[in-house]
Chains A and B, each alone.
Chain A
């Protein structure tokens, strides 16, 4: 495709920025516990559901990170959400069915999903 205007360049930039968004910082982070117990409790499925939900909603500015065991194995799968400038919210016993709710309520609208909330840290 030939670029003939600033508009063309901006379009390519926007789509290319999505491609490299995993490498940028200062945005919403989702952190999923992927220790042995987390995976045993279904954290991989939760992570896949998160990725699917994000791409369905076209949410590009969210990074999905894995982390090791946090030590609250009975609460696995654990999923943390950190929105810029807000405290770290930890959800426990997260299921695949909970994922769309967490994404639409918390990530998009900023409302914490109280029935899965197990902790917050500044």
Chain B
């Protein structure tokens, strides 16, 4: 997630290169684009459309269908609060509210300093440790609201 916006067309071309002439390319390409820029910029969609001869409407259709893709820039760190069943019965709603309060953002919102984006997710599959949240690729379990501050401090 380091590339600058000006590099979008060039970088997208690089991502597309190995996929030319292959089927089933769209989702892996979008995943790579998002990995490079943190979201799927409009400019990238235009390049994919032109190079792969696919209507932009179809690409938008796929981007908006999957929860993973984002059309707007996101924070440096993604906080995913698990809202699965096991976490729900062990109090994850309260955690989510606490995080919202601390960051002053709504669900799927990004803090003004672009530090955090908050996303509730269906289930992180770490139900034994409920309630759970993930920051980037680290899973934090057995949470209580008081633990949140020290954990978030680890992510600058």
When A and B assemble into the complex, do they touch directly, with CB atoms less than 8 Å apart? no
